[in-house]
Amino acid sequence: MNPIFWKARNSLALKVILSTVILSLGVVWITGSALNSRLSSGIREVNLNSAIAEARSTIFTADYRFLLAQGEKDSIVQKVVDDVISSATTITSNENTREVVFLRSPSNTMIKNYEIASNFLDPVSIPQSLSERVRKSNDTVWQYTTMRYSLGASVSGLAVGQKVQIPGAGQYEMYIVFSLANEEKTLNLIESYLLIAGIILLILITLITWVVVRQVVKPVREAARIATEFTSGDFRQRMKVYSQDEISTLGRAFNEMAESLEKQIARLENLSRVQQRFVSDVSHELRTPLTTLRMASEVIAESRDSFDPTVARSTELLVAQLDRFERLLEDLLEVSRFDAEVAVLEAVDFDIVQLVNRCAEDLALVANERKTQIYVKSAEPIIMIKADIRRVERILRNLMANAIDHAEEVQIDVQIQASERDVAIGIRDYGVGLDEGALTRVFDRFWRADPSRARTRGGTGLGLSIALEDARLHNGELEAWGRPGRGAHFVVTLPRKTWDSIDSRLIPLEPEDYRV
Amino acid sequence: MTLVMVVDDDQDLAEMLGIVLTGAGIDVDLVSRGDEVMDVFRNNPPDLVLLDVMLPGLDGIEVCKLIRAESMVPIVMLSAKGDTQDVVKGLEAGADDYMVKPFRHPSELIARIRTRLRRTNAEVLGLLTIGDLAIDVQAHQILRAGKQIALTRLEFDLLVALAKEPGRVFTRDALLSEVWGYRHSTDTRLVNVHVQRLRSKIEHDPEHPEIVVTIRGVGYKAGVMGGS
């Protein structure tokens, strides 16, 4: 595409100026050509009329003199012809010349020949068609022609002719040929003046349009700039309103919108602060008594050997439930942090293979209890990533714990794949699996795959939901696959650098071992 | 007998901490207001301070700064929030370690306190050097050109750990287990903050450290001054 058109699409000013110039070019062109043709035809008509009148009187005079010379000697007649030519021919310094041509009519068979043309004008300058018309008519006849001189010069001209009788020589055609060089010059001059006037007019129109467009576009540009800054977070930006025109109306409308947005944002920010404050307070208020409770329960539990069996068992339950309560509290606080959008990433460089292995080792005991094992397989021995290690560890633990819960005494396979930009971890179990309905709800808070199944590990029901939030906080993704009775597959994909986005799925969600 | 000062505004928790610590053979001084800490501290200097962040009167971070201004005593912060800002603020104010409530087990608390109290590196004899510093482990002194540099016990331990094995690159995890006694922790903030504090005391130009050198993506090692 033409670059100027491409630019015009992006600039209002250029667009308006360009279309104004194109339209005015059309208008100036049409007006100019109309003016030019009217002027030139007027000038031609005036010249033509005066030329014909002049020719008529010249030819009439010549005719009269020939009549007077009737019966004279040839030398007298010759003198009359010369006189006629010299009086009809003007030799002036300017080019407004007149030439005279005598042609013998073809029907004339007399011996004496007076055919002549003044000033070396070539008789071919008289068009054949004009000669024919002269022969047929008794009046003067005219036609535009080109005057050719035997010396080579040629100018446009007008030939006016009539039949004359030369005494003792028969019928001749007498032509007066007017040079139109001056008229041509005048017309050319008019044409070039019109052209210059047109160009100046166009330039002026362009300048005026530019000035006008600037007046309109400047505030529009200003509005666009302010709107952009507003979008990028500077909510104090306002448009300047000077007058009462449409631009100012736009400005006022924009300012009102900005005002109301600023208020809304301030309100939301305040709400978020209140929420954050509340979370922090609840956290503090609950944790302190919980700490006391836990320490007290531990102190009691230490002497459990001296208790009778029911009290000893009750102590065990107390300790276990306090553990669970604490986990639930942690998860709830984390969820509320996500909801308040105050969760922050604390990215560090670490080896994710090492982290996966450590999580698997930590959970090996629990896995053993459930008669399953976790096998970790990595594509590379070391995969360094920059991420929030606490959150990544929590994702891995939640996914592994979930797999252990549903493994049904079959092994669990964990694989790690990495590309230049991304890293993916797939956790595959071959246990109860998930059906379609379960897949859509598996990341819902407090959702249970099968309400009749006991939550054996005392999970909080928030693990997968938090894992998903953690993955998304890294611009990563966590996806689940499952088939009833065929196990489940959870794949987490994370960018290797913080704030990058993931651009691939390194581990296909449908496991390679699964065939329908 | 070891004396630990427990500063917490929650009476029940303070009492419970007292019971647990006394049970472990540690004497306890209980303080419940931030603005009372310094008086008690000066009258009866403890071996370690267990300091809550949220306190009436004066907040824990300010108290921590006041104590650091006068003493190199180990300080362990107790935080109810896991929020980084508070933890980092506490560490920057001079705390050696922190524990987030609720603690897993009372034994964990006692283990932390013992780690901070024990005479680390007692097995190392004589003088160590790191950069242009001389370390007298026994006398617990750091000397540069004969002049002593005051370090907290933890900073001292951190420096000794690096100086003991000059060629070794310590990962943050390795330092956590060596210096803080954590089995496996991923909390690298502790290491980062303390390395910064240590550098501000011993480096000629903390922006371009030469004694404690960062190995990007791995950890830290003892630097060789003057190049080699």
**Residue A423 contacts residue A416 (beta carbons within 8 Å):** yes
Name the residue with tokens 């055919």: A115
> A35-47 burial by CB neighbour count: b if 16+ within 10 A, else e?
ebeeebeeeeeeb
Sorted by where each starts, the structural domains of chain B and their CATH numbers stand as 3-117 (3.40.50.2300), 127-222 (1.10.10.10)
* Residues of chain B neighbouring A294 (CB-CB closer than 8 A): 102-103, 105-106
* Residues of chain B neighbouring A326 (CB-CB closer than 8 A): 102
Res B227: pLDDT:
44
If DSSP codes are grouped into helix, strand and coil, which group holds residue A308? coil
| Chain B 2-41, residues with CB within 8 Å of chain A CB atoms | 10, 12-13, 16-17, 19-20, 23
**Residue A475 contacts residue A495 (beta carbons within 8 Å):** yes
Domain of A81, in residue numbers:
13-187
If DSSP codes are grouped into helix, strand and coil, which group holds residue B106? helix
Cβ contact B13–A280 (<8 Å): no
Domain-terminating residue out of A154, A187, A220:
A187
Cβ contact A290–B102 (<8 Å): yes
Q: Which of A412, A387, A403, A507 is nearest to A464 (CA)?
A: A403
Domain-terminating residue out of A187, A217, A252:
A187
CA-nearest residue of chain B to A394?
A: B186
CA distance A332 to chain B (A): 14
Res A93: pLDDT:
47
Give whole-number Cα distances, A315 to A301, A302, A308, A327, in Å. Answer: 6, 10, 11, 19
Same domain, A87 and A159: yes
**Residue A126 contacts residue A101 (beta carbons within 8 Å):** yes
Q: Is the pLDDT of residue B81 over 60?
A: yes
Q: Is the pLDDT of residue B172 over 70?
A: yes
Q: In the structure, what pLDDT confidence band is assigned to residue B133 with cuts at 50, 70 and 90?
A: confident
Tell me if chain B has a CB within 8 Å of the CB of A321.
Answer: no
Q: Which of A508, A405, A494, A509 is nearest to A457 (CA)?
A: A405
Cβ contact B103–A344 (<8 Å): no
Has this prediction a pTM greater than 0.95?
A: no
Look at A265 and B81; give whichever has higher pLDDT.
A265
Residue A244 lies in a domain: no
Which among B13, B80, B188 has the least Cβ separation from residue A292? B13
pLDDT in tens, A274-296: 877 777 677 777 888 888 998 89
**Residue A213 contacts residue A5 (beta carbons within 8 Å):** no
Which among A294, A348, A355 has the least Cβ separation from residue B102? A294
Tell me, what amino acid is at B114? R
Tell me if chain A has a CB within 8 Å of the CB of B65.
Answer: no
The H or E element that residue B100 is part of is: strand B97-100
CA dihedral B182, B186, B187, B190 (to 10 degrees): 60
Calpha distance A350→A278 (Å, rounded)? 33
Tell me if chain B has a CB within 8 Å of the CB of A303.
Answer: no
Cβ contact B23–A280 (<8 Å): no
Tell me if chain A has a CB within 8 Å of the CB of B169.
Answer: no
CATH label of the domain that carries residue A368? 3.30.565.10
pLDDT tens for each residue of chain A, 516 residues long: 456 655 656 677 788 888 888 998 999 899 989 998 998 889 889 888 988 898 888 888 888 888 888 878 888 888 888 888 887 776 554 556 788 888 888 777 777 777 787 777 888 888 888 888 888 888 888 888 888 887 777 888 888 988 888 887 788 888 888 888 888 888 889 889 999 999 999 999 989 988 888 887 777 788 788 888 888 877 777 877 777 777 788 888 888 888 888 888 888 888 877 877 777 677 777 888 888 998 899 889 888 889 899 999 999 889 888 888 888 888 888 888 787 777 788 888 889 999 999 999 989 998 998 899 999 999 999 999 999 988 999 999 999 998 998 888 899 999 999 999 999 999 999 988 888 888 888 898 888 766 655 555 557 788 899 999 999 999 999 999 999 888 999 999 999 988 888 888 888 888 888 765
| Chain A 379-408, residues with CB within 8 Å of chain B CB atoms | 384, 389-390, 393
Residue A113 lies in a domain: yes
* Residues of chain B neighbouring A289 (CB-CB closer than 8 A): 10, 12-13
If DSSP codes are grouped into helix, strand and coil, which group holds residue A385? strand
CA distance A356 to chain B (A): 13
Cβ contact A295–B20 (<8 Å): yes
Same domain, A30 and A175: yes
Same domain, A311 and A387: no
Same domain, A354 and A332: no
CATH label of the domain that carries residue A287? 1.10.287
Res A9: pLDDT:
60
Same domain, A335 and A352: no
Give whole-number Cα distances, B84 to A162, A328, A346, A390, B91, in Å. Answer: 117, 21, 9, 12, 10
CA distance A495 to chain B (A): 17
Query: Which long-range contacts does B137-144 make (Cβ < 8 Å, 24+ apart)?
Result: B142/B202, B144/B202
CA-nearest residue of chain A to B55?
A: A284
Residue A512 lies in a domain: no
The two tokens of residue A509 are 């969600």
Averaged pLDDT score across all residues of chain B: 84
Res A433: pLDDT:
86
Domain-terminating residue out of A339, A362, A380:
A339
Tell me if chain B has a CB within 8 Å of the CB of A348.
Answer: yes
Same domain, A401 and A313: no
Same domain, A330 and A395: no
Same domain, A371 and A310: no
* Residues of chain A neighbouring B16 (CB-CB closer than 8 A): 291-292, 295-296
Same domain, A36 and A175: yes
Same domain, A292 and A362: no
Residue A230 CB partners (closer than 8 Å, separation 6+): A237, A258, A261
CATH label of the domain that carries residue A64? 3.30.450.20
Same domain, A472 and A351: yes
Q: Is the pLDDT of residue B2 over 70?
A: yes
Residue A196 lies in a domain: no
Same domain, A18 and A154: yes
Cβ contact A291–B184 (<8 Å): no
Calpha distance A134→A207 (Å, rounded)? 58
Residue A136 lies in a domain: yes
The maximal CA–CA distance of chain A, rounded, in angstroms, is: 176
**Which ipTM value was assigned to this complex?**
0.74
Residue A255 lies in a domain: no
**Residue B93 contacts residue B63 (beta carbons within 8 Å):** no
Cβ contact B102–A298 (<8 Å): no
**φ/ψ (deg, to 5) at A281:** -65, -45
Tell me if chain B has a CB within 8 Å of the CB of A361.
Answer: no
Tell me if chain B has a CB within 8 Å of the CB of A299.
Answer: yes
Q: In the structure, what pLDDT confidence band is assigned to residue B39 with cuts at 50, 70 and 90?
A: very high
Res A485: pLDDT:
87
Return the minimum-mean-pLDDT range out of A202-206, A276-280, B45-49, B118-122: B118-122
Domain count, chain A: 3
Res B94: pLDDT:
87
* Residues of chain B neighbouring A284 (CB-CB closer than 8 A): 54, 80-81
* Residues of chain A neighbouring B84 (CB-CB closer than 8 A): 344, 346
Residue A374 lies in a domain: yes
Res A447: pLDDT:
80
Task: Count how many pairs of residues, chain A against chain B, have C-beta atoms within 8 Å.
Answer: 63
Residue A229 lies in a domain: no
The maximal CA–CA distance of chain B, rounded, in angstroms, is: 58
**Residue B56 contacts residue B12 (beta carbons within 8 Å):** no
